[in-house]
Amino acid sequence: MSGRTVAIRYATALYQAAAEKKMTEVIVTDLTKLNEIMTAAPIREYCLKARANQVLEMLFINTAFIPYLSQTTGEMLKTAVRNGRLAALPYLFEALNIIINAESGIVEVMLESAGEIEKTVQKTIETKMAKRLGKKIKLNNIIVPKLLGGIRILWDNRLIDLSAIGRLKIMRTLLKAV
């Protein structure tokens, strides 16, 4: 199971526990801090690297994170380490945002393009996606130069590929079938 998938499970459990205690704002602050700490490449890499020494991982968690987080979040991190899920930690902040957006009826849509897209075009895409999904949309534009041109729209593990590279792949597949 990937770190992202596991992160959703841990973030969901943490969010539910926080909601019961009426401390969701504390959890959001904690995971924001955790995300800031994760921006240091060596810390992120250490979490993602596979190892089997739970004692060292617990020492790492106690040193790098626990002093900066609430007890509830700290206990969740310790549980993740005990379960061998250290690789989920870099994805917890992203997972929490997905949970919060889903709870508030917002769908996060990623708009990938080779270059900057005009605001009017973004607004049109946002409007059409909101109509298609019947929900509020949070549109994030990400520049991906390898697309060459066009766009890709991603949401909830779905994809609309209108990119030049995507169309070239389709052409290649069709030509191989001939």
Q: Which residue among 38, 68, 100 closes a domain? A: 100
The amino acid sitting at 123 is: K
Write down the pLDDT at residue 3. 67
Write down the pLDDT at residue 31. 92
On whether both 141 and 69 belong to a single domain, the answer is: no
Residue among 35, 15, 34 nearest 25 (CA): 15
On whether both 33 and 71 belong to a single domain, the answer is: yes
Task: Give the domain CATH number at 31.
Answer: 1.10.520.20
Write down the pLDDT at residue 1. 52
On whether both 57 and 14 belong to a single domain, the answer is: yes
Write down the pLDDT at residue 106. 87
Q: Where does residue 156 fall: left (phi above 0), alpha (psi -120 to 50 degrees), or beta otherwise?
A: left
Write down the pLDDT at residue 4. 73
Domain of residue 49: give its range. 3-100
What total of structural domains would you count in the chain? 2
- Which stretches in the chain have pLDDT values below 70? 1-3, 50
On whether both 17 and 85 belong to a single domain, the answer is: yes
Q: Tell me which residue has tokens 């002093």.
A: 67
On whether both 45 and 8 belong to a single domain, the answer is: yes
Mapping DSSP to helix (H, G, I), strand (E, B) and coil, where does residue 107 land? strand
On whether both 109 and 96 belong to a single domain, the answer is: no
Q: Which residue among 100, 116, 145 closes a domain? A: 100
112 close to 123: Cβ distance less than 8 angstroms: no
Alpha-carbon span 47 to 45, nearest angstrom: 5
On whether both 24 and 86 belong to a single domain, the answer is: yes
- Per-residue tokens: 138: 């949070």
Q: Which residue among 100, 128, 156 closes a domain? A: 100
Write down the pLDDT at residue 54. 86
